[in-house]
Chains A and B, each alone.
Chain A
Amino acid sequence: MKLLRLLAAGFSMSLRRSVAFRVNLVFDVLLAFTGLGTAVAAVLIVFTRADTLAGWSKAEFLILIGTYQLITGLRTTFIDPNLSWFPETGIRNGKLDGYLLQPAPSLFLSSLSLSSPLQLIQFVLGAGVLGWGIAAADRGPSAGGAVSWLVLVVAGIVVTWALSVLLACLAFWAPKLQLDVFYHSAWQFGRYPTDVFARPLRILLTYVFPMALIASVPSTALLRGPQFGVLVAGIAAAGGAAALAALAWRAGLRRYTGATS
């Protein structure tokens, strides 16, 4: 509860800072619109030439893009402002030292204390595209499908957070190693079902950078109903990834001796 209050306080402060610059708000809204518009347009072009792509119809693809955008919005709002460029900002510039002195868990402060509220626009637009996809689909999702979609989206967010923490933890051992860009590049593959890609890339996107869990798996659950095995695997992946991230963070802190030492 204390952490939730801290999260809310951090979000509130970030929101007040953001709305002070109204022109920036206009730019962010426009960029979010054009970014999503470009992604949707790229897919719609494909469907002027084919009825399905890797077994997915246009409406199903819209649901996939909506889900992807929704999670991307949450990532850029709550995770990226903290963990992007962590090796430089957290370790080399010594921001982590400040977090270690504060009376709250350092993992929480380092990974969730800051936010970019304006990026929630992406979340809203993603929800819009998701609604468009559901409306265009031949049949609406079942209640079970909707619940399992929600569970898998939460699992996807937890895995996203854990992966960002794990990448940040590498900085404790190799402070100059910056893998964010690779992660963000791999993230772009999540906009498409993994069946589209060649086998080696498909394996990479399922097991190494589990981008399939970000959009493909929840969208499949929403469209084709809940599957017990997938739900359990999603929850297990989220729990395992979160535990691994916490362990890696603890091990990293044991190694950390301060930016100025």
Chain B
Amino acid sequence: MTTLSRTAVLLGFRIRQEVLEWSGAWWFLLTLVVQAVVAPLIGLFVWSAVYPDDPGIGRYYVAVVLVTLMTESFEQHTFSERIYNGTLSHELLRPQPVVVGVIGMNLAIRGWLTLLGAPIVLLTAIARQIGFDGWAVLRSTPYLLLAAVLVFLWTFLLSLTAFWTDRVHAVVGFGSQLIFLFGGTAAPIGLLPDTWRRIAEILPFYGMIGLPAEIATGTRSGGSLGYQLVWVAVLAGTVAVLWRAGVRRYTAVGS
């Protein structure tokens, strides 16, 4: 069995284990869903008040709600806490990459959030009489997958700062504010002032939320996969460097 297929099998087992473990925490998962949808819903109401006759605003924000649910990451809670309480040592001793466990939990939580948040998305779409073009939604799939990878890498990267500081929640909170402002949740980036829009189009955050949402709504027809791939490579490289430096610094409790 090659390393890749072995890792895939391990990841499959981990996802199954995490899905089952989280199935008992549906109330907590529901609170995560509510937290995730509040900011896009506020955006929906605010921009609908500015452009009451534009159905594109409603469609965009419904897509943003769904993208947010499908890409949420909580490594500052799941991974960083393991650094703080010393249980990262258990993961380091296992004969598998630590990141397999992190990704397994991430995907399991995202699956649950999408499932539990789907009624909110449906209700909002029905209440505001919003429809989607099936082809546009299908076209958005690769963008959504890359967005999911980008959000994970960004959150994991910031969560790695737990090796150096105990204020990882503040660090990740700052990262989330950047996603909110430049990612397309505070406003569709087409509505940002010119300078801000140009900055937002270069930064990785637009590729995390706004881009897949715009493709799904049909506002954009394609392109920009390269932009997402470049940022995936940059963030993955930075994560690898920071991980190595962090593990060298890590001292387990009792050692």
Q: Which residues of A contact B (CB under 8 A)?
A: 23-24, 27-28, 30-31, 34-35, 38, 41-42, 45-46, 48-50, 53-54, 176-178, 181-182, 184-185, 188-189, 191-192, 196-198, 201
Question: Which of these, B31, B45, B187, contacts A45 with CB under 8 Å?
Answer: B187
User: In the complex the two chains form, is A38's CB within 8 Å of B165's CB?
Assistant: no
Across the two chains, which residue of chain B brings its CB closest to A37?
A: B177
Q: Does B132 contact A (CB under 8 A)?
A: no
Across the two chains, which residue of chain B brings its CB closest to A42?
A: B186
The complex places the Cα of A184 from the Cα of B34 at a distance, in Å, of 10
Across the two chains, which residue of chain A brings its CB closest to B173?
A: A31
B144-163 near A? 1/0 per residue, CB < 8 Å? 00000000000000000000
Residues on A with beta carbons closer than 8 Å to the beta carbon of B193? 45, 48
User: In the complex the two chains form, is B49's CB within 8 Å of A54's CB?
Assistant: yes
The complex places the Cα of A27 from the Cα of B158 at a distance, in Å, of 14
The complex places the Cα of A173 from the Cα of B50 at a distance, in Å, of 44
User: In the complex the two chains form, is B39's CB within 8 Å of A188's CB?
Assistant: yes
User: In the complex the two chains form, is B49's CB within 8 Å of A196's CB?
Assistant: yes
Across the two chains, which residue of chain B brings its CB closest to A53?
A: B49
CB B117 to nearest CB in A, in angstroms, measures: 13
CB B1 to nearest CB in A, in angstroms, measures: 43
Pick 6 A–B contacts, CB within 8 A, sort by A: A30-B170, A34-B174, A46-B46, A181-B34, A191-B42, A196-B45
B167-181 near A? 1/0 per residue, CB < 8 Å? 100110110010011
Across the two chains, which residue of chain B brings its CB closest to A176?
A: B27
Please classify how large the interface on chain B is, using the bins under 10, 10 to 19, 20 to 34, 35 or more: 20 to 34
For residues 39 through 66 of chain B, which have their beta carbon under 8 Å from a beta carbon of chain A?
Answer: 39, 42, 45-47, 49-50
User: In the complex the two chains form, is A192's CB within 8 Å of B28's CB?
Assistant: no
Across the two chains, which residue of chain A brings its CB closest to B187?
A: A45
Residues on B with beta carbons closer than 8 Å to the beta carbon of A184? 35
Evaluate whether A24 and B167 lie within 8 angstroms (CB atoms) in the complex, with A34-B177, A185-B34 already known.
Answer: yes
User: In the complex the two chains form, is A46's CB within 8 Å of B50's CB?
Assistant: yes
User: In the complex the two chains form, is A178's CB within 8 Å of B186's CB?
Assistant: no
Q: Does B191 contact A (CB under 8 A)?
A: yes
User: In the complex the two chains form, is B35's CB within 8 Å of A31's CB?
Assistant: no
Residues on A with beta carbons closer than 8 Å to the beta carbon of B35? 181, 184-185
Question: Which of these, A23, A178, A198, contacts B167 with CB under 8 Å?
Answer: A23
Residues on A with beta carbons closer than 8 Å to the beta carbon of B165? 23, 27
User: In the complex the two chains form, is B46's CB within 8 Å of A196's CB?
Assistant: yes
The complex places the Cα of A185 from the Cα of B174 at a distance, in Å, of 18
The complex places the Cα of A198 from the Cα of B47 at a distance, in Å, of 12
The complex places the Cα of A23 from the Cα of B168 at a distance, in Å, of 12
Across the two chains, which residue of chain B brings its CB closest to A31?
A: B170
User: In the complex the two chains form, is A53's CB within 8 Å of B46's CB?
Assistant: yes
The complex places the Cα of A120 from the Cα of B38 at a distance, in Å, of 25
Residues on B with beta carbons closer than 8 Å to the beta carbon of A178? 27-28, 31
User: In the complex the two chains form, is A31's CB within 8 Å of B174's CB?
Assistant: yes
Q: Does B203 contact A (CB under 8 A)?
A: no
The complex places the Cα of A28 from the Cα of B49 at a distance, in Å, of 34
User: In the complex the two chains form, is B45's CB within 8 Å of A197's CB?
Assistant: yes
Q: Does B103 contact A (CB under 8 A)?
A: no
Residues on B with beta carbons closer than 8 Å to the beta carbon of A53? 46, 49-50
The complex places the Cα of A192 from the Cα of B42 at a distance, in Å, of 9
The complex places the Cα of A191 from the Cα of B38 at a distance, in Å, of 12
Evaluate whether A45 and B27 lie within 8 angstroms (CB atoms) in the complex, with A30-B170, A34-B174, A38-B180 already known.
Answer: no
The complex places the Cα of A48 from the Cα of B188 at a distance, in Å, of 13
User: In the complex the two chains form, is A27's CB within 8 Å of B170's CB?
Assistant: yes
